[in-house]
């Protein structure tokens, strides 16, 4: 175990530096190194101040998340922090980059904090299903008060330096390298320009109002999450003497550590980063600055907005002046809202406008680096666009389609440069939804894939690599999951019961609310399109068709599975249609409890997810998880359907599917991989 912590004495200053790339996570070696150097420095008679700083891009960015779930190794971070606080020799922490979680806790245990410009501080543990477990819930209230501590701990946001200073979290700002600032801090301390104090000795003004307000907000906005309430309980203990508060914090931390949500959220943390590591990622992407967008409808204007917000220049094309004008207005509106939400600075807003042009003439795409087609979902229309792109675009331009299910291989061969054709499947609203499905066609060149991922990074999207099939990864799994829901509908469950159960499981919205929001005609069209390839013996539920035939297309018509008057309520006409369909199918409705609804819904999702992996449409289980979490409202705290299968156990899922197959062997079939995993106890995690 190399020692990432070193001690150097310069003019009576003990410089303790941490060097554990990439983000100086407080791994076991770092913790042990800090304890040893603190001990050594305190024993030195020629040292009167200790200054902690880190090398590389950031001060400690938290505990080493990779160590979670493994047997804990002494010394633990809370103990490291207590040793720093108890140090007889004053300790100053010099911060740069993103001191987060355990890193900020180490800093708060120090007797003063100095930061370099640009530093952002935070306690984001709640995003990992835990709480600041190394004194953060006790020392933050002592430094910034209960309301601000609650805000930092419950939002997990990165607090900019100027705010951290006004909160009293940072005492001084110094320029230079972290080491130079460390020596500078020691000098200021000697000139009594930096006061040192033990945070633990500070007291906290009680504030039950803030604590109760936080509890109410959590109950309303995060009813599913386990750790936020525990965070409040821990902060509430900060009014106690520090050692008592720390004991309370530790108990609450362990409760969070043992909650399955911790595993789900940490899986999501690493999944979000790992999905970008695709085989093609090691290739240099093609350069891009000018993006062409074809189609100025909802998707086109959203994609244009996302590119402009990333500082790229955009030319948007459409066939009609009215459509183009509507598209321009939509982009302007999106940018204004982004400024209002603090997602875009007014300066960048101005740059975006100057980098945005529109045209009726595709010839204006001749110098575009990447062109993204977002015209309506009709193969001939798309092929016509790509034939024109083939004529007008420069050699090496990346030609992308935003189709959400059409065969990209077929689109590609309508050009003479199918190696430059790729699918870039955005999700609506395209400037807000974080997911980008990068669909790789048979002829797509590897550096074109790499360029797709580079564009996603520039747009701050989570890009997931997918192969070509009907619906790629996301819509293919959604189609199977919806069939399972429709079967429950026909057999006796109501749309409301299914939505309520799936939302209680953690989805942002149940399947029938989503259908109503998207428009029932969209899914009707895809059922019609899939009719030709549907297995003859597969059960078909025509409820959705009947509702559409009555002109009820969801929210946009005020009626769908729900009615959208003053208040949203189950639509009695839809319920009547459901009863009629049951009667004509000779089905006597039965009761579905919420557990069974969730079990069937998730079994279908895992079943199709496993098939998508078997077919190589998704490379790894995390690709399936990321698609569902970032694009389909799957609850992040459950990590994704393949992680869910690992949590439940493949044997459990196989047993459920086998049970359902007794009533419907055509739809319910256990994929080979899943059956093998059930036998061997293997997990999807092992395949990531
Ligand atoms: N532990 C282990 N690995 C980490 C890590 C961490 N804390 N943070 C980042 N990495 C890895 C990451 O997986 C990636 O690896 C590489 O570093 C670069 O990260 C007791 C218990 C710091 C803002 O939640 O928010 O402290 O993919 O791609 O976009 O209270 O990483 O290259 O192999 O994200 O520049 C609390 C988590 C922990 C911060 C940098 N801390 N990290 O963002 O780079 S819990 C956090 C981040 C805790 C205590 C508790 C970001 C970042 P790879 P990156 P980035």
Residue 1 has pLDDT above 80, yes or no: no
Atom 21 of ligand 1, residue of closest alpha carbon: 63
> According to the model, what pLDDT value does residue 505 have?
98
CA atoms lying within 13 Å on the CB side of residue 90: 18
Among 26, 63, 65, 109, say which to mutate for ligand 1: greatest number of ligand atoms within 8 Å of CB. 65
Report the candidate in 561, 565, 526 with the shortest Cα–Cα distance to residue 547: 561
Ligand 1 midpoint to CA 63 (Å):
9
Please list the helix, strand and coil fractions of the chain in percent, rounded to the nearest 5, in that order: 55, 10, 35
The stretch 537-563 carries a mean pLDDT of 96
- Note the pLDDT tens digit of each residue in 412-430: 999 999 999 999 999 999 9
Report the candidate in 229, 239, 230 with the shortest Cα–Cα distance to residue 208: 239
Atom of ligand 1 nearest to the CA of 269: 13
Ligand 1 midpoint to CA 167 (Å):
24
- Note the pLDDT tens digit of each residue in 442-479: 999 999 999 999 999 999 999 999 999 999 999 999 99
Residue 361 has pLDDT above 70, yes or no: yes
pTM of the model: 0.95
The stretch 17-25 carries a mean pLDDT of 98
Rounded to the nearest angstrom, the gap between the alpha carbon of residue 567 and the centroid of all alpha carbons in its chain is 31
User: Which residues are known to be catalytic?
Assistant: 105, 125
Among 62, 137, 158, 258, say which to mutate for ligand 1: greatest number of ligand atoms within 8 Å of CB. 62
> According to the model, what pLDDT value does residue 536 have?
87
- Note the pLDDT tens digit of each residue in 88-118: 999 999 999 999 999 999 999 999 999 999 9
Q: Report the percent of the chain where pLDDT is more than 90.
A: 97
- Note the pLDDT tens digit of each residue in 287-337: 999 999 999 999 999 999 999 999 999 999 999 999 999 999 999 999 999
**Ligand 1 binding pocket, CB closer than 6 Å:** 22-23, 25, 61-66, 77, 98, 100-102, 105, 124-125, 128, 130, 132-134, 136, 270, 273
Ligand 1 midpoint to CA 270 (Å):
9
> According to the model, what pLDDT value does residue 529 have?
84
Paired residues of 466 in beta bridges: 439
**DSSP label of 584:** H
Ligand 1 midpoint to CA 360 (Å):
46
Could you tell me the two tokens for 468? 């070509």
Ligand 1 midpoint to CA 61 (Å):
6
- Note the pLDDT tens digit of each residue in 557-599: 999 999 998 899 999 999 999 999 999 999 999 999 999 999 9
Ligand 1 midpoint to CA 23 (Å):
7
Could you tell me the two tokens for 459? 């747009």
Atom of ligand 1 nearest to the CA of 273: 27
CA separation, residue 249 to residues 8, 78, 243, 418 (Å): 34, 10, 10, 58
- Note the pLDDT tens digit of each residue in 224-265: 999 999 999 999 999 999 999 999 999 999 999 999 999 999
> According to the model, what pLDDT value does residue 533 have?
84
- Note the pLDDT tens digit of each residue in 600-656: 999 999 999 999 999 999 999 999 999 999 999 999 999 999 999 999 999 999 999
Residue 518 has pLDDT above 60, yes or no: yes
The stretch 175-188 carries a mean pLDDT of 98
Report the candidate in 266, 276, 356 with the shortest Cα–Cα distance to residue 311: 356
State the angle between helix axes of 321-340 and 346-354 in degrees (0 to 180), rounded to the nearest 10.
Answer: 160
> According to the model, what pLDDT value does residue 98 have?
98
Among 61, 124, 149, 688, say which to mutate for ligand 1: greatest number of ligand atoms within 8 Å of CB. 61
Atom of ligand 1 nearest to the CA of 63: 26
Give the model's confidence band at 532: pLDDT under 50 very low, under 70 low, under 90 confident, else very high.
Answer: confident
Give the model's confidence band at 534: pLDDT under 50 very low, under 70 low, under 90 confident, else very high.
Answer: confident
* Strand residues in 441-503 grouped as ranges (E): 462-467
Handedness of CA 93, 96, 102, 105 (dihedral sign): positive
Atom of ligand 1 nearest to the CA of 277: 27
> According to the model, what pLDDT value does residue 535 have?
85
Atom of ligand 1 nearest to the CA of 124: 24
């Amino acid at each position: 175990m190399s020692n990432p912590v070193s001690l150097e004495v310069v003019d009576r200053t003990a410089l303790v530096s941490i060097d554990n790339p990439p983000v100086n996570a407080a791994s076991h070696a770092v913790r042990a190194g800090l304890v040893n150097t603190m001990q050594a420095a305190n024993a030195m008679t020629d040292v009167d101040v200790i200054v902690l700083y880190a090398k590389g891009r950031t001060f400690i960015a938290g505990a080493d998340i990779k160590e979670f779930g493994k047997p804990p190794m002494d010394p633990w971070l809370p103990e490291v922090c207590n040793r720093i606080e108890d140090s007889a020799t004053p300790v100053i922490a010099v911060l740069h980059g993103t001191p987060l979680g355990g890193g900020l806790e180490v800093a708060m245990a120090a007797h003063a904090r100095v930061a370099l410009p640009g530093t952002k501080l935070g306690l984001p543990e709640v995003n990992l299903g835990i709480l600041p477990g190394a004194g953060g819930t006790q020392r933050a209230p002592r430094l910034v008060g209960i309301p601000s501590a609650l805000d930092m701990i419950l939002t997990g946001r990165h607090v900019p330096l100027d705010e951290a200073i006004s909160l009293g979290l940072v005492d001084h700002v110094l320029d230079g390298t972290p080491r130079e600032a460390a020596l500078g801090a020691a000098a200021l301390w000697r000139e009594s320009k930096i006061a040192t104090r033990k945070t633990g000795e500070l007291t906290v003004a009680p504030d039950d109002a803030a604590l109760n307000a936080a509890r109410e907000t959590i109950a309303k906005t995060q009813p599913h999450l386990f750790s936020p309430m525990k965070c409040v309980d821990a902060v509430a203990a900060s009014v106690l003497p520090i050692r008592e508060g720390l004991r309370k914090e530790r108990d609450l931390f362990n409760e969070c550590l043992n909650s399955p949500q911790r595993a789900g959220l940490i899986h999501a943390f690493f999944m979000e980063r790992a999905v970008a590591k695709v085989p093609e990622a090691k290739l240099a992407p093609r350069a891009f600055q000018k993006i062409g967008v074809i189609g100025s409808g909802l998707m086109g204007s959203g994609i244009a907005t996302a590119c402009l917000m990333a500082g790229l220049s955009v030319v948007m094309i459409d066939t009609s002046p009215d459509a183009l004008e509507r598209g321009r207005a939509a982009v302007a509106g999106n940018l204004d809202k982004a400024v209002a939400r603090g997602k875009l600075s007014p300066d960048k807003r101005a740059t975006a406008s100057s980098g945005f042009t529109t045209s009726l003439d595709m010839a204006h795409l001749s110098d575009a680096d990447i062109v993204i087609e977002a015209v309506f979902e009709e193969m001939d229309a798309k092929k016509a666009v790509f034939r024109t792109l083939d004529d007008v675009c420069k050699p090496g331009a990346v030609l992308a389609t935003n189709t959400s299910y059409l065969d990209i291989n077929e689109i590609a061969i309508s050009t003479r440069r199918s190696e430059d054709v790729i699918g870039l499947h955005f999700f609506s609203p395209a400037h807000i939804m974080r997911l980008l499905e990068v669909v790789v066609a048979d002829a797509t060149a590897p550096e074109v894939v790499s360029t797709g991922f580079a564009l996603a990074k520039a747009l701050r999207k989570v890009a997931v690599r997918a192969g070509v099939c009907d619906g790629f990864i996301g819509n293919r799994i959604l189609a199977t999951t919806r069939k399972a829901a429709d079967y429950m509908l026909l057999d006796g469950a109501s749309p409301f019961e299914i939505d309520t159960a799936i939302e209680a499981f953690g989805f942002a919205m149940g399947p029938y609310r989503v259908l109503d929001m998207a428009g029932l005609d969209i899914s009707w069209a895809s059922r019609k399109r899939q009719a030709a390839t549907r297995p003859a013996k597969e059960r078909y539920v025509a409820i959705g068709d009947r509702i559409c035939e009555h002109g009820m297309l969801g929210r946009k018509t005020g009626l769908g599975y729900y009615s959208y008057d003053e208040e949203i309520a189950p639509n009695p006409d839809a319920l009547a249609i459901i009863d009629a369909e049951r009667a004509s199918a000779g089905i006597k409705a039965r009761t579905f409890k919420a557990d069974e609804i969730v079990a069937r819904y998730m079994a279908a999702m895992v079943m199709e997810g496993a098939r998508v992996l078997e077919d190589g449409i998704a490379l790894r289980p995390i690709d399936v998880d990321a698609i569902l979490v970032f694009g389909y409202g799957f609850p992040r705290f459950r990590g994704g359907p393949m992680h869910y299968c690992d949590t439940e156990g493949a044997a459990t899922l196989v047993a459920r599917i086998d049970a359902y197959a007794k009533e419907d062997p055509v739809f319910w079939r256990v994929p080979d991989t899943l059956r093998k995993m059930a036998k061997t106890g293997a997990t999807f995690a092992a395949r990531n």
